Chain A
Amino acid sequence: MFDLILTNTETVPGREIVRHLGLVQGSTVRAKHVGRDIMAGLKNIVGGELKGYTELLSDAREEATRRMCEEAKTMGANAVVNVRFSTSSVTAGASELYAYGTAVILS
């Protein structure tokens, strides 16, 4: 999916970190759309998984990760370690998906 090695541990198994390049980050703000909202409203009567929202959030998270990877690549990194995800709601009906990590060069 991404041509970098991503881990959320501080090291990469079996590889040695030669240099730390610094923090890289990627974020995206997404709003839910009306069609999905109506479906979710109906689904809310019976409960259970809201697939529209699951997809929306995982797409958004992928986008944030891709932006982070692009930043890492421009720095000349070949891996990002200690990746973390966080979500914050900026305004009603929209949330920010944020991914950050440390860009490194592996041997």
Chain B
Amino acid sequence: MGGFITVAILLAIGLVFGQINEQNHFKRLRRDEEDLSDILTVNLKDLPLEMQPNGMLVSGNVVVAVDYFKKIATGIKQLFGGRLRSYESLVERARREAIVRMKKEARDIGADAVYNVRLEFTSMGQQPRQAFGGVELLAYGTAVKLK
């Protein structure tokens, strides 16, 4: 009985705070993306001829995890298969956050474009049944200053 109550409380906390967290994160992401929209990011290898010499590697990484409610809900959903919206939003948040951090680093060194952007994904959960189910996203590229 006690175990059941604990799980119910954790589910409720996860549902409420997880939602608030996610909405705030998306709000922050929209603001940051707007703010950094003057920095060009492309995943082209070839650099244009008109740019100032030298470049620098910039990167941004983030580890995010799903909340308890989504974890349980996903477990149930997986019995039927289909689209897992909670994990879609998780990787979307991670990817956008990693790119935002990379762009911030580029701006800090005075660059105005990032070329050859690469995204690297790592799953942090070791075993399927383990408590921790986070993902890491790394974005990196070469920051340059266009003329």
Residues of A within 8 A of B (CB): 5-15, 37, 40-41, 43-50, 53-54, 57-58, 61, 83-87, 89, 92-93, 95
Contacts and interface: CB of A to CB of B under 8 A. Distances in A.
Secondary structure type dominating chain B contacts: mixed
B47 interface: yes
A85 B120 contact: yes
Interface residues of B, number: 47
Interface stretch (B11-19, B32-40, B77-85): B11-19
Contacts, number: 132
Contacts of A40: 65, 132, 134
Contacts of B52: 13-14
16 contacts: A7-B56, A9-B115, A12-B53, A12-B54, A43-B65, A44-B131, A44-B134, A45-B68, A46-B68, A47-B14, A49-B25, A54-B136, A85-B59, A85-B120, A85-B140, A87-B122
